[in-house]
Amino acid sequence: MKIKYFIYFLILACATACSTEQKEQVEEQKKDELATPFKLDASTSYKFHVKNEGKTARIGDFISFRFTMISEKGDTLTSSHKHYGLKAMERPLEKPSDHDDLEKIFSLVTVGDSLTVSLQAGKHFSAITTEMPKNLLPQSQIKYLIKITGIKTIEQRSVEQIPVDDRLLMTYFTKNKLTKKILKADNGLYLDIEKEGTGNLLLQGDSVRYRYTTSDLQGHIIDTSDKNIDGLMLGKYTLIPAWDFAFKNILKKGSKVTLYIPSNLGFGGISKEIRNSSSGVYVKLYPFTLLKTEIEIVEVIEALRLTNAK
């Protein structure tokens, strides 16, 4: 009986959430008839139904919002409710390009704003590099009904992400039976040391030759030296925090170490395209991506110590 009641209340809760979303969509459509449109160009316009005072989003800020995408016939194509349930979708505001009209409009919003954006389907789906639904024509118009629920700076959002990353990494270690092998540094970096290496810790000015492969936790390779050997002089190049820490505090000649990198020690909350050193192909890196780097130190030339010895 308890299970039946639980299922009943679960169905009721889902129905209520869906009903609420549909009511909100109807209300937005009613407001849509009253609002004055602003045109960006011949194919793009937007209407604010609610426009609040306050700071607008800046490049790099994270915007939380709920949305419903509808066709020009009024059919619902997708929504934040479908993908995220009761949670709002979140995305960083990037520098607007000539092709992404939605990005330009997001630069105008503040918390609590409600708006409708009308876009040409073909142009929009090309800009967001997502396959267009088959029932849409490139020339047709689509509408986003949008409610802005929050805006956070990248610094605020990055601090919130630290415990999230830690839980995700621990889940990964447990799933892959790595828990007993993993060490954690004070800065939150996780390490699996296969070989400690020999000799001195590296110092600024030392030249290092090494092999490496960096991937995400799903195994997609982001950057690799492949069978080649890369080189750098410490202090000459800017490294991500995890690499900088490892080169200065962990790695020696002969070291073979796997770094499990939380996003605050990687590329943080920014979107970035990284050129694969081996293939030359650019890989899109999304905000707060967790990274895994396997690295082997092949040779160390202790330039600073050789200078001191003369």
Listed residue (232, 195, 229, 200) closest to 302, CA to CA: 200
Q: Look at strands 256-261 and 291-301 and give their pairing.
A: antiparallel
Does pLDDT of 21 surpass 70? Answer: no
Share of the chain above pLDDT 70, in %: 85
Q: Can you list the alpha helix ranges (DSSP code H) found in 228-276?
A: 241-249
Does pLDDT of 175 surpass 90? Answer: yes
Residue 153 has a CB neighbour count (10 Å cut-off) of 14
How far apart are the C-alpha atoms of 67 and 83, rounded to whole Å? 11
Does pLDDT of 79 surpass 60? Answer: yes
Higher pLDDT, residue 53 or 22: 53
pLDDT for the residue 280: 85
* Residue whose token pair is 């999230």: 164
pLDDT for the residue 22: 53
Side-chain half-sphere CA neighbours of 51 within 13 A:
12
How far apart are the C-alpha atoms of 17 and 90, rounded to whole Å? 19
Range(s) within the chain of domains with CATH label 3.10.50.40: 2-152, 157-309
Report DSSP letters for 60-112, one per residue: T-EEEEEEEEEETTS-EEEEHHHHHTTSPEEEEPPPP-SS-HHHHHHTT--TT
pLDDT for the residue 98: 67
- pLDDT by residue (tens digit) across 254-290? 999 999 999 999 999 988 888 888 888 899 898 999 9
- Cβ-contact 227, 176 below 8 angstroms: no
CATH class as words, domain 2-152: alpha beta
Q: What is the mean pLDDT of residues 196-207?
A: 92
Does pLDDT of 30 surpass 70? Answer: no
Banded model confidence at residue 209, pLDDT cuts 50, 70, 90: very high
Does pLDDT of 62 surpass 70? Answer: yes
How far apart are the C-alpha atoms of 154 and 59, rounded to whole Å? 9
- Cβ-contact 29, 145 below 8 angstroms: yes
Banded model confidence at residue 25, pLDDT cuts 50, 70, 90: low
Does pLDDT of 3 surpass 70? Answer: no
**What length is written for the chain?**
310
Q: Lowest mean pLDDT of 22-31, 138-147, 161-170, name the range.
A: 22-31
CATH code matching the domain that covers 157-309, chosen among 2.40.128.130, 3.10.50.40, 3.40.50.300, 3.40.50.2000: 3.10.50.40
3-state secondary structure of 134: coil
Does pLDDT of 115 surpass 90? Answer: yes
Listed residue (127, 156, 145) closest to 50, CA to CA: 145
Side-chain half-sphere CA neighbours of 304 within 13 A:
12
Strands (E), 121-254: 141-152, 183-184, 190-195, 207-216, 221-224, 230-233
pLDDT for the residue 6: 43
- Cβ-contact 119, 144 below 8 angstroms: yes
Q: What is the mean pLDDT of residues 223-234?
A: 88
pLDDT for the residue 262: 97
Mean pLDDT of the chain: 86
Listed residue (204, 270, 210, 269) closest to 238, CA to CA: 204
